Chains A and B, each alone.
Chain A
Amino acid sequence: MLRQVLLRLVTTLVTLFGVAVIVFVVIRVVPGNPVAMMLPPGAGPEDMARLQALYGLDKSIPKQFVIWLGGVVQGDFGTSITTRQPVAGLVLGRLPATLELSVMALVIAVVWGGIVALVGTRFRGGRAEAAIDVGNGIALSVPDFLWGLVLILLFGVLWPVFHISGRVSPSLDLPFVTNFYLFESVIRLRFDLWWDIVGHMLMPALALAFPLAAIVAQLLKQSLKETMHLDYVTLARTKGYGETRVILREALRNAVLPTLTLVGVQFTFLIGGTVIVERLFSYEGLGNMAIDAVINRDLPLIQGIVILFAVIFTAVNLIVDLLYAVLNPRLRHA
């Protein structure tokens, strides 16, 4: 078990190193000199050379990579070209916003998908299940970007009950010391702020949650239906328990494991989806910052954000694998 965990950690590190190399090389073939855009009009070639030297862009790509990697090991991801602030600080400042949005979407997806699966199993074979299957099929086929647009139209324009732009109303005075607004508003018992933040997050979170909810519903329903034929479920039935109780108390516990693994993998897709959904809702997270960084050709910032995303992706996969090993009794005693 320990050996497996260590092996898994090593492959994770190899993957991250590969990501770093690819991002570094890809970014450095960008046409258009980012430094040229920073200089005021009238600056001469020696100004340009000085600035390039300042950002280390005058050295060869392998040399730049070694210098950059040396910095990364010490937690220094370089300096953003547009804002002239350390990348690590900028990126970590935005990370809480994206994490809160992703986790909120995950919770919505799991709760919603779970309820749909339970209802579908309870009324299996009937019209309700057929309707659920069709709804799932549509929710799954349409990506978060389109759900976001649909939600903007429905609840931002047609029936404007939710905010469709930003993370919190700009007029509010925020007493927060961290960037985990949603979490901190609860801790500080500021439910007025909490309500405003949720009102801003709900639409983008729903857009992200729809496809995942459909996947959860589909898979959980399938495993539940398979479990319903097993002996111990029949036994529970002969004891006289009602159908709903059999599903909730007996079948659910055993049907949950395959769904869990899939949710982990799908969660990384959800996090990847935040890039465009944050843009759509002008939500001030990592994804929105990434698109701005690309448009401004802010190389160090792009690099930092892509690597951070890769770290999150691989970390989620790692956690899921470990969780699966812990929860699955067959693997635990192996």
Chain B
Amino acid sequence: MHDGRGAVRRRAGARLWLSAGWLTLAGGAALLAPWIAPHDPLAQDLFAGRMPPFWVAGADPAYPLGTDSLGRDVLSRILHGGRIAFLVALIAGLATAVLGATLGLLAGFFRGWVDVAISRLIDIWMAFPPVLFSILLIAVIGPGLWSIIIAIIVIDWTRFARVVRAEAMGQGAMDYVASARVAGRGRISTLVVEILPNVLPTIVVLLTLEMGIAVIVEAILSFVNLSISTDSPTWGGMIAEGRTSVHQAWWVLVLPLIALFLTVLAFSQLGEGLKDRFDPVLR
């Protein structure tokens, strides 16, 4: 990289801060939704259906981002939908990371039949189309918040397992691991104390990316109406409703779409930014 390393780093820094900023803002707003949302997200006002947002003529100041066809407040629904999105991202992301990284570490460090079994399982998992797999799982375990989280864990653990396995394999061959073993450390202890800290940056990067994926999966599942019950507002559900009435009330589709777009983009850019940060070649 002979050209403009400073510029590359500045751009990477801006990307990191912009994404972290948006996630803090959106996450905070989602957390505080019950207190800051101006309306009950489920309250219908059939006399105020399809009110446009405040910058369009004919808007009602009581509904700053307008209302949907049932007269529900779009802003309140986006805020409450964000709660679900961030909740799924956090829980599903962490649980997927723990499961996938554990299996990856075991396969990469112990090798032998453990590695063969886990690798074969990964191969089989990779032959499933993920969206179809998640829809299938939801149909099996029934809709609901926990079903989405379980589906994400069951499907996406391979993302962690594949990468962590390769990393653990590389670390396992290094001298410091051999010397730890010579110094009398047990195998499990070596894995946890010596190898895990060195693989952790990779896991953090993958976790950030996975949280973005979790947000998308939740949106897709609520879009095909397999998410949680229809009386909880979700971004995907709002988008599905907005899609049918886009010619009459575009904001019902556009506004939650912007929230979803920015959140997914921010998680992904944060992950990529962290990857560059942790990468010794770029540093």
Contact = CB atoms under 8 A, between A and B. Distances in A.
A187 B277 CA distance: 53
Interface in B110-135: 120, 123-124, 126-133, 135
Interface residues of B, number: 44
Contact of A297 (B120, B139, B239, B265): B139
Contact of A291 (B135, B140, B254, B272): B135
A65 interface: no
A29 B136 CA distance: 11
Interface string A145-172: 1100110110001000000000000000
Interface stretch (B81-89, B91-99, B216-224): B216-224
Contact of B131 (A16, A141, A273): A273
A134 B216 CA distance: 21
Contacts, number: 123
A157 B250 contact: yes
B56 to A, nearest CB: 15
Interface string A274-286: 0110011000000
B131 A275 contact: yes
B39 interface: no
A306 B4 CA distance: 48
Interface string A119-145: 000001100001000100110111101
B123 to A, nearest CB: 5
B261 interface: yes
Nearest to B266: A141
A149 B244 CA distance: 12
B142 interface: yes
Contacts of A142: 261, 264-265, 268
Nearest to B3: A125
Nearest to B273: A137
Chain A binding surface, main DSSP class? helix
A140 B257 CA distance: 17
B246 interface: yes
A300 interface: no
Interface in A198-251: none
B140 A30 contact: yes
A31 interface: yes
B212 interface: yes
A309 B135 contact: no
Given A124-B3, A294-B226, 6 more contacts: A26-B137, A125-B3, A141-B264, A153-B257, A276-B224, A295-B224
Q: What are the 5 tightest A-B residue pairs by CB atom distance, in nearest-first order?
A: A141-B268, A272-B129, A18-B124, A125-B3, A310-B127
